[in-house]
Every structure is written in structure tokens, then in C-alpha cells.
Structure 1
Amino acid sequence: MPRVAPRVMLTTVATQVSVIGSGGEWEGAAEEVGRLLAERGCTVVTGGLGEVMAAAHRGAKVAGGTTIAILPGEDRRSANPWADHVVVTGVGHARNLVVAASGDAVIAIGGSYGTIAEMALAL
């Protein structure tokens, strides 16, 4: 009886880059980072809410990119309008671990103590 090799489907998975941080004054920088990442084929992952997170998603969408929002709560409607894929966690700030772990790389923009803690989780 002849042996048949299993069907294998090869796919290309985009590099995922997590963008973390906060602060309205950093939105311009975050939007530029999101745009540059998308232009290079990266998927932009954030915590999915406002300020830096929304701006990074907005920049990625302007460049035709894909975005993922990982929310602290359970309501998908709280995601920023530029999120393509929304993950609800219901774990509050513990979702920062998921955001940090979801990126092949992590870029911090602005922020404060929470951003520093999230950077530590990414190590």
C-alpha cells in the first residue's frame, strides 16, 4: 500500500509588535510608530484603549495594517475604533502580561509606572 504524505499548509505569519504606553502628548509619536510598523508588514498589538494605544492603531490603519486590541475588561465596545481584532480578558491590569507576551518585540512610548511594569513583563 503506498504511503501518502499528510497535506501541509504553509502560511506566513506577520511579525507582531506590541506598542505600550500612555499619555495624550505622545499620540503623534505613537501614530507614526504604528504607521511605520504597518508599512513594514507588522501587526500592531496594544491594550486597545485610548491615547497611545489608539494612536498606534490609527497609524497602522492609515498604512493599511492590521491591529489587535487586548482589553482589560469584558466589553468589546470599549476597544478603540481602529482595532481589527479584539480580545477581551476580564483580568484588569493583568492583561498587560498578555500584551507584552503577544509581541515579537515591544515598543514603549511615553507612559509612567504602569509602562515600566509592562516593559519588565516583556523581558
Structure 2
Amino acid sequence: MQRCRDCRSGAAGFAPPHPADTDAAVAMIERPSTRRPVQVAVCGPRDCSATQAADAREIGRLLARAGAVVLCGGGTGVMAAVADGAAAAGGLVIGVRPDADRTAACPGLSAVLYTDMGEARNAILVRSADAVVVVGGSWGTLSELALAHHRGDIPVISLHGWRLLDADGHPLDTGHIAHSPAEAVELALANLG
């Protein structure tokens, strides 16, 4: 390896790295990782309240700080808020759009999947997740909640979301109920890493 003049001379206080440190760093780069990051879908209405938006933004921030990949619908409302929160914290945010309109995706997304599948994209979003957090509720959010619960093999957490009852008026088990963004993230990430 050839070094620049400043590196060879030790100018400007530069100290070249010890060869053992360099070798360890190169080995880490060359070694493929066998562990992928946890992917958490955050679902919620495109027309949300200020409280739901603030909670979604905080969930995105906390997930990004924990190293999770945030999946969302890539639209307005809860989707935009969670993307903003995760992006502001340096996180990776993937939007799964129901359409092919490249102007409709919210800011804050690192990547966008344009499915042009309408609500069927909800299945892609939920099937790609290791956990699902629902913030608030709308009919589309209800379908995501149902798909996540039907999977049965991932944590499903609801914050200010749907409460479903059976025909006799008894609550259905639709996952965990969180009372704060921090609790939602804690429940989503428990036992995943």
C-alpha cells in the first residue's frame, strides 16, 4: 500500500493506524454478516391526529436508534410521521406504496417499493416485517392488523388503535396494547434480536 507524503511523514499530527487495527477492520468488512437487521412495520391512517403523528414520529426515532429497519406505507399521516422520525435519527426507512405514483411517496424514505397493487400491498408490508406496530386506526390499518394477527408468528402491537370484539362482545386477542411509543417499541423488539 502506498501512502501519501503527509502520512509517511506524520505531518499535521496524523498517526497511521496500527497494522493489526487495519487488518481487523478489513476482516470485518470482508466477512459477510449472517444477521440481518430487524424489520418493523409501522401502520396507521393517512388522516391521523396530531397525537398519532407525534407518537409515530417518536416510534420511528426509537426504532432507528435501536438499529431496526422501519417499514411503512410511504404515504401521509402516520406513514410520513414514522418516516420523518426514523430518518431524523439516521434510520433506514422503506416505503411500500399501493400505487405507482412516484410523486406520492412521503419525504424521509430511504427506498420505495411501488407495487401498484392497491390494498394488496398491505400483505407485502406485513409479510416483510418481523413485528408490526399499529398507531391509530382506519380501514386500511384494520386490514394490516388482521393480516399481522393472522400470521401468528410476529409481535403485533397497538397504540391508540383498534379494539376488536367477537360476536358476543368479548375482546379478541389482537396482540399487545401499548400505552406509549417507548412501550410499543419495547414490545416490538422484545425477543427479536
The answer to whether the aligner puts 1:86 opposite 2:89 as a matched pair is: no
Matches of 1:122 and 1:37 in 2, distance apart? 19
Matches of 2:137 and 2:103 in 1, distance apart? 24
Matches of 2:32 and 2:53 in 1, distance apart? 40
Report how far residue 122 of structure 1 moved: 1.2
2:74 corresponds in structure 1 to 48
What percent of counterpart residues are identical? Answer: 43
The answer to whether the aligner puts 1:64 opposite 2:87 as a matched pair is: no
The answer to whether the aligner puts 1:24 opposite 2:64 as a matched pair is: no
Report how far residue 71 of structure 1 moved: 0.4
SS of residue in 2 equivalent to 1:18: strand
2:122 corresponds in structure 1 to 96
SS of residue in 1 equivalent to 2:94: strand
CA radius of gyration, larger in = 2
Q: For residue 98 of structure 2, what is the amino acid of its counterpart?
A: P
Spell out, residue by residue over 1:37-64, the C-alpha distance to the aligned partner (whole angstroms, 9 max, x if none).
0010001100100000000000001111
Q: Which of the residues 133, 136, 150 maps onto 1:107?
A: 133
Higher RCO structure (Cα 8 Å, ≥6 apart): 1
| Contact kept in structure 2, 1:76 and 1:87, CA below 8 Å | no
Matches of 2:146 and 2:81 in 1, distance apart? 23
SS of residue in 2 equivalent to 1:108: strand
User: Please, what is the CA RMSD of the aligned residues?
Assistant: 1.6
Report how far residue 114 of structure 1 moved: 2.1
Aligned positions, number: 117
Report how far residue 77 of structure 1 moved: 2.3
Q: Which runs of 4+ in 1 moved over 4 A?
A: none
Instruction: State the TM-score, normalizing by the size of structure 2.
Output: 0.57
Report how far residue 9 of structure 1 moved: 3.2
Q: For residue 66 of structure 1, what is the amino acid of its counterpart?
A: L
Report how far residue 76 of structure 1 moved: 2.4
Report how far residue 13 of structure 1 moved: 1.5
Unaligned runs of 5+ in 1: 1-7
Structure with greater strand share of residues: 1
| Contact kept in structure 2, 1:43 and 1:65, CA below 8 Å | yes
